[in-house]
Amino acid sequence: MGLFSWLFGQFIDVVEWTDDSRDTMVWRFPRQGNEIKYGAKLIVRESQIAVFVNEGEIADVLTPGTYELETNNLPILTSLQHWDHGFKSPFKAEVYFVNTKRFTDLKWGTKGPIMVRDPEFSMVRLRAFGTYEIQISDPAAFLREIVGTDGHFTIDEVDAQLSNIIVSKLAVVLGEDSTPILDLAANYEMFGSHITEGITPYFSEYGLKLTKILVENISLPEEVQEAIDKRTSREITGDLDAHLKYETGNAMGNANGSMGDMVGMGAGLAMGQQMTEAMKHPSQTSATPPPPPSKENIYISLDGKANGPYTKTALMALANEGTLTRETFVWREDFDGWKKAESVFAELFAHLPPPLDHQE
């Protein structure tokens, strides 16, 4: 070693770190064999913590401020080796600067769907993603548990692990939460706070503080979304007859619309009116159900729906139990429409007493 190299090694009299990056969490002062001069100044800026490590053991943790590295000011340094000769010789303790600012806009997201229970959909698979923020709360624990001897530790080296912790604990938090899936979108902020509270203890084991989790999206499987879209469309349409009239009016008022469009819309309106009438008067509809071509296949109208087919023997049993009455509408393929049972099958009621309103 030359004279100037030796002199340079003895002239480290200011220990500091000016961080110009946004992702560095821990930075080790690059001593590289150079000894720190006795009485040197240590500058710890705001949002920094300095940690002295001697032979692999943490000797001291210093908060923001300016320090003179002397035993009078830092009694803990008397425990370091190589402080002989009246503690006037240089020493070789390593200095780690820990960045205590918040690290924001870190991404998390589920790699696969999470199965949860829902009060409306019973069981459903969910995907979720968002961002989170962390801060080093215990520099000594962070060095011991995560950094080790890494001289330049960045957020990228731990981001994946922290994201996995969030996702792994998310299923537990979702399972304990009773908020319906459709109401989660309106409660993302509250839900994010709930997740943060539930997952924070797992981060503290690494000397980190989980300051915030933001939920950007919670999505359902495509087939469930399609079902919800169909249900929403039906709700928005409202009255079918009024909707068809509205669409027809728009088509007729459009000067650029073709005659074919108008004819098609008119046919749609007529069909819609027929459907509406059928729903309003199901017992009087002229639409014929598709029975097999047999006179024994008879349909009856119950609760506004066509039930059957029945044979006459089966109708007799229905008449005896009171399900089929004289006023019940019946239909068979040779009828020109729905008819009252008494008018076409009077023999079914011959042995039954007349209605009470016919008594004298």
pLDDT at position 82: 45
pLDDT grade for 133, boundaries at 50, 70 and 90: very high
Structure tokens, 232: 């929403």
pLDDT at position 346: 86
Residues 180 and 242 in one domain: no
| Nearest-angstrom CA–CA distance, 341 and 328 | 6
Residues 92 and 125 in one domain: no
In a domain, 260, yes or no: yes
| Nearest-angstrom CA–CA distance, 17 and 46 | 11
- Predicted TM-score (pTM) of this structure: 0.55
| Nearest-angstrom CA–CA distance, 203 and 180 | 28
Which has the minimum average pLDDT: 57-71, 191-205, 272-286? 272-286
For the range 180-187, what are the long-range contacts, defined as Cβ-Cβ under 8 Å and sequence gap of 24 or more?
180/118, 180/119, 180/120, 181/118, 181/120, 181/121, 181/124, 181/126, 181/218, 181/220, 182/120, 182/228, 184/218, 185/218
Residues 217 and 306 in one domain: no
Mean pLDDT (the chain) is: 76
Mean pLDDT of 233-243: 64
Per-residue pLDDT tens over the stretch 45-80:
999 999 988 777 888 889 999 988 775 555 545 445
Domain boundary pick from 79, 99, 119: 99
| CATH at residue 134 | 3.30.479.30
Q: How many domains does the chain have?
A: 4
Q: Is pLDDT above 90 for 217?
A: no
Residues 125 and 207 in one domain: yes
pLDDT at position 360: 52
In terms of pLDDT, which residue wins out, 125 or 305? 305
Residues 158 and 60 in one domain: no
C-alpha dihedral sign at 353, 354, 358, 360: negative
In terms of pLDDT, which residue wins out, 326 or 83? 326
For the range 66-70, what are the long-range contacts, defined as Cβ-Cβ under 8 Å and sequence gap of 24 or more?
66/41, 66/42, 67/41, 67/42, 68/39, 68/40, 68/41, 68/42, 69/15, 69/36, 69/37, 69/38, 69/39, 69/40, 69/41, 69/42, 70/38, 70/39
In terms of pLDDT, which residue wins out, 165 or 254? 165
pLDDT at position 6: 41
Mean pLDDT of 244-272: 58
In a domain, 274, yes or no: yes
Residues 108 and 203 in one domain: yes
In a domain, 288, yes or no: no
Question: What Cα–Cα distance (Å) separates residue 290 from each residue in 92, 162, 274, 287, 330?
Answer: 97, 63, 18, 10, 14
In a domain, 290, yes or no: no
In a domain, 287, yes or no: no
pLDDT at position 4: 41
Residues 110 and 211 in one domain: yes
Q: Which structural domain, as residue segments, surrounds residue 33? A: 3-99
pLDDT grade for 8, boundaries at 50, 70 and 90: very low
Pairing mode of beta strands 114-118, 152-154: unpaired
Residues 121 and 195 in one domain: yes
pLDDT at position 332: 92
Per-residue pLDDT tens over the stretch 335-360:
888 999 888 888 888 887 777 665 55
In a domain, 254, yes or no: yes
Residues 126 and 193 in one domain: yes
Of these ranges, 5-9, 84-88, 244-248, the one predicted with the greatest mean pLDDT is 244-248
The radius of gyration computed from the CA coordinates of the chain, to the nearest angstrom, equals: 41
Residue 171 phi/psi, 5° resolution?
-60, -40
Q: How many CB atoms lie within 10 A of CB 270?
A: 12
Residues 178 and 211 in one domain: yes
Q: Tell which residue, 75, 81, 50, 78, has the closest CA to residue 64.
A: 50
**C-alpha torsion 45→48→54→56, nearest 10:** -160
pLDDT at position 85: 39
In a domain, 233, yes or no: no
Residues 82 and 172 in one domain: no
Structure tokens, 195: 């997740």
Residues 113 and 87 in one domain: no
In a domain, 216, yes or no: yes
